[in-house]
Amino acid sequence: MTTTILSSLSLFPATPEQVIESRRRTAIAWGKDMTLEEYLHRDDVSDTQEHARDGKLITWVLAPRDDPTSLNFVSSCETFRREGLVWRRPPPPPDGEDSVPMPERVTCYGIASVFTPPSLRGNGYAAHMMRLLHWVLAETSWLPKVFSEEWGTPPARVAHAGDGWFSALWSDIGRDFYKRCGPTMDQEGWIVRSPASTVWNVSAEILLSEADPTNWTWLDEAGVLELWEKDADNVAHTLGLPDNYRVSLTFLPNKGVAAFQHQRNIHILNRLVPPIQYWGIMAKHDSQDAILDTFATWSFEVRLPGLKTLIITRLRSRPESFKSLMSTVMAVAKQQGMERVEVYSLPDELQSVAASMGGITFEREEHLPAFKWYGAEKSSEVAWLLNEKFCWC
Ligand SMILES: CC(C)(COP(=O)(O)OP(=O)(O)OC[C@H]1O[C@@H](n2cnc3c(N)ncnc32)[C@H](O)[C@@H]1OP(=O)(O)O)[C@@H](O)C(=O)NCCC(=O)NCCS
């Protein structure tokens, strides 16, 4: 593709008609087990939910500069504005004592549904769209000073976007494509970080025999929403900046972010037998405590292909509580007819207990978490905390 053609395109927030066209297109990739009407309806419902409403969800199109509302746009994607926390190591003070970094509440973005129609693929459109995306999401003062001349003028900043400290996506096309998509041709884009999963086979009797439902407070929809609110507060107190890093960051689970993991497919999950009653458990003693220290929340992956899976969306546990927690989660999975239980990025201190219960940890080949930090620090100096399923989109 010639540079002239790239410079004739730019990134625009989609018109309502372009949003529908983009969804019609992506149905072939992500709506295979639904009719087009069901797929469009699911997104209509999703638009009204907390993770998306009030301008948090923007569909973007790469379209001709001279016809930005055209339905013949060449590529599209979605961004979700969210809240996150960031800890940064300040420069050492003159007396040499390191101060403890305080968390800052920041704007950040989840990115999803990157799509180019089959007939237009291989022309560099998606890569160009992703490069331009930094220019509408990132905190302006952190963007490179110069926009590549061969791309024409930068995309216009729009309401509800911008001020971003970091963004993340979950790549289903490997590590390289998004890494190449930086804000300039010589800067890196999204870097894959720790795509680890731990899975248990639900038939592991060792676990089922230890399940004790009476140890737990069972969380229905209202219960998990309340837990994620409290968890979002707790995160500021319980996490920090690990040694050897200059920055650490995390998405927060409240404001619809973790709820998206089950609300998105609720029309399918509602068909499970028995009907799903609970989306999480927390240790009974936690109900009174200021800091929640033992809980799991979950969703279910039942769309084909793939094994039916109870996927843990957010987890916190001490090693001594973990076996009891997982045994109960396993019993839930069995009751709902799931074949396995999966958790992303299980903390190191829980790995040996997990293995003793038959859990196997491996590097996933799909949904690879990848982040772009917009500050001056290098990606190798940035720790992604709570790199769990709850923030996937
Ligand atoms: C991925 C996709 C958006 C790329 O769009 P595009 O406009 O053709 O992208 P570009 O022309 O900028 O880049 C093409 C490059 O993307 C990479 N790529 C595309 N599909 C890939 C895949 N399935 N696995 C790995 N890399 C892939 C390759 O490096 C390819 O280069 P090549 O053509 O030399 O092999 C498009 O193929 C698509 O819509 N696929 C279906 C939906 C999807 O998988 N989206 C990504 C979800 S994370």
The model's pLDDT over 146-188, given as tens digits with 9 standing for 90+, comes to 999 999 999 999 999 999 999 999 999 999 999 999 999 999 9
For ligand 1, the distance from its centroid to the CA atom of residue 117, given in whole angstroms, is: 10
β-strand 368-373 against 382-384: which pairing, if any? Answer: unpaired
Q: Give the dihedral of Cα atoms 365, 24, 372, 45; nearest 10 deg.
A: -100
Which atom of ligand 1 is least distant from the CA of 122?
11
- As a whole number of angstroms, the distance between CA 127 and CA 72 comes to 18
pLDDT at position 290 is 74
Q: Is the pLDDT of residue 270 over 80?
A: yes
Q: List, for residues 214-233, the tens digit of each pLDDT value.
A: 889 999 999 999 999 999 99
For ligand 1, the distance from its centroid to the CA atom of residue 28, given in whole angstroms, is: 15
- Does residue 118 contact residue 135 with C-beta atoms inside 8 Å? no
- Does residue 327 contact residue 207 with C-beta atoms inside 8 Å? yes
**Chain mean position to CA 325:** 24
Higher pLDDT, 208 or 140: 140
For ligand 1, the distance from its centroid to the CA atom of residue 127, given in whole angstroms, is: 8
Collapsing DSSP to helix, strand or coil, 339 comes out as coil
pLDDT at position 95 is 74
Element (H, E) at 392: none
Question: What is the phi/psi pair of residue 33, to 5°?
Answer: -95, 15
Confidence of residue 115 (pLDDT cuts 50, 70, 90): very high
For ligand 1, the distance from its centroid to the CA atom of residue 207, given in whole angstroms, is: 41
Q: Is the pLDDT of residue 285 over 90?
A: no
Q: Where would I find the H helices in the chain? A: 3-7, 16-30, 36-47, 125-137, 176-179, 205-208, 221-238, 260-263, 266-269, 319-335, 348-356
Q: Is the pLDDT of residue 351 over 90?
A: yes
Which atom of ligand 1 is least distant from the CA of 127?
12
pLDDT at position 204 is 62
pLDDT at position 291 is 83
Best mutation site among 5, 79, 173, 366 for ligand 1 pocket (most ligand atoms within 8 Å of CB):
173
Collapsing DSSP to helix, strand or coil, 256 comes out as coil
- Does residue 138 contact residue 374 with C-beta atoms inside 8 Å? yes
Which atom of ligand 1 is least distant from the CA of 1?
11
Average pLDDT over residues 93-106: 83
β-strand 104-115 against 164-171: which pairing, if any? Answer: parallel
Confidence of residue 1 (pLDDT cuts 50, 70, 90): very low
Average pLDDT over residues 308-333: 96
Confidence of residue 4 (pLDDT cuts 50, 70, 90): very low
Query: Which residues have any ligand 1 atom within 6 Å of their CB?
Result: 29, 75, 114-116, 121-127, 171-174, 177
Q: List, for residues 6-49, the tens digit of each pLDDT value.
A: 999 999 999 999 999 999 999 999 998 899 999 999 999 999 99
Question: What does the mean pLDDT of the chain come to?
Answer: 94
Task: Specify the pTM.
Answer: 0.96
pLDDT at position 92 is 73
Ordered by where they begin, the domains of the chain are: 3-194+368-391 (3.40.630.30), 196-363 (3.40.630)
